[in-house]
């Protein structure tokens, strides 16, 4: 099994890369999706979040109002740490269950936004960073998610810097171009991951390899 950590800043297009890798046959583990599942109504996770932040983070239907919660934690590092202290152990346990159920020859791609922030690079055989310039992140978030520039700034400030992400990368995928260019790069990435999966343990690519560069 080849464990691949896939990360990138908000608005980098990491999810587009993840979907394409799944289409090639990767076993995709989406940490954001799992984070939603562990706070669904009736779960211990949601009860813990409400206990910490109050009922103001609940929507009328009893689900977690992620936008309201985000407005609280993304501007307060201490509160963000308390939220992570609830969510991360639950997500980690579910990820371990999925890893244990994977085939021995699987390429497991774990789509995790905060690999750099949580010092997780060492848990993976390969770390792939989807990279774009900060101005591109901002433009995409304002255009595609209808976020204000203040909201974008707060969320980007809550994540690792571009330099910090690139420092942990084994492979860098530049997603500042067209979707056709992204398709080409993901094809090259999949070929490289497949090669590494066939190799003996420890025979991985040199740090700093850039796909499409």
* pLDDT, average across residues 90-104: 93
Domain boundary residue, one of 104, 133, 160: 104
Give 77's pLDDT tier (boundaries 50, 70, 90). confident
pLDDT over 90 percentage in the chain: 74
Exposure string for 143-166, b = 16+ CB within 10 A, e = fewer: eeeebeeebbbbbbebbbebeebe
Residue 177 maps to which CATH number? 3.40.50.300
Write down the residue that tokens 């067209």 correspond to.
Answer: 178
- Domain co-membership, 42 together with 2: no
Tens of pLDDT, residue by residue over 118-139, are 899 999 999 999 999 999 999 9
Three-state DSSP class for 112? coil
Domain closes at, from 89, 104, 119: 104
Do 54 and 17 belong together in one domain? no
Q: What is the pLDDT of residues 172-202, one digit of tens each?
A: 999 998 999 999 999 999 999 999 998 845 4
Average pLDDT over residues 157-185: 93
Sheet harboring 171-174: ordered strands across? 27-30, 107-111, 2-8, 126-131, 171-174, 209-211
90 has pLDDT over 80: yes
Does one domain contain both 99 and 202? no
207 has pLDDT over 80: no
Q: What is the pTM of this model?
A: 0.81
Whether residues 97 and 184 fall in one domain: no
pLDDT at 144: 86
Please indicate, yes or no, whether residues 213 and 146 belong to a single structural domain of this protein: yes
Question: Who contacts 103 (Cβ-Cβ below 8 Å, separation ≥6)?
Answer: 1, 27
Across the chain, the runs of DSSP E, i.e. the strands, are 2-8, 27-30, 107-111, 126-131, 171-174, 209-211
Q: Which domain holds residue 111?
A: 1-26+106-213
- The residue out of 104, 139, 162 marking a domain boundary is 104
Q: Are residues 110 and 56 in the same domain?
A: no
- pLDDT grade for 212, boundaries at 50, 70 and 90: low
- For the chain, the domain total comes to 2
């Amino acid at each position: 099994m080849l464990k691949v950590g896939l990360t990138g800043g908000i608005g980098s297009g990491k999810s587009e890369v993840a979907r394409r890798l799944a289409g090639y046959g990767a076993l995709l583990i989406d940490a954001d999706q799992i984070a939603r599942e562990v706070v669904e109504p009736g779960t211990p996770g949601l009860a813990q979040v409400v206990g910490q932040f109050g009922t103001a983070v609940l929507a009328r239907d009893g689900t977690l109002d992620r936008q309201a919660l985000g407005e609280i934690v993304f501007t307060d590092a201490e509160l963000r740490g308390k939220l992570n202290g609830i969510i991360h152990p639950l997500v980690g346990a579910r990820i371990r269950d999925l890893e244990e159920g994977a085939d021995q020859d699987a390429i497991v791609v774990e789509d995790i936004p905060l690999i750099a922030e949580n010092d997780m690079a060492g848990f993976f055989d390969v770390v792939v960073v989807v990279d774009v310039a900060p101005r591109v992140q901002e433009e995409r978030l304002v255009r595609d998610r209808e976020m204000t520039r203040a909201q974008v700034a707060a969320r980007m400030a809550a994540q690792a810097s571009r330099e910090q992400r690139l420092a942990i990368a084994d492979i860098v995928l530049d997603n500042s171009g067209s979707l056709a260019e992204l398709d080409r790069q993901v094809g090259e990435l999949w070929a490289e991951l497949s090669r590494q999966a066939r190799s003996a343990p420890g025979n991985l690519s040199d740090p700093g390899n850039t796909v499409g560069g």
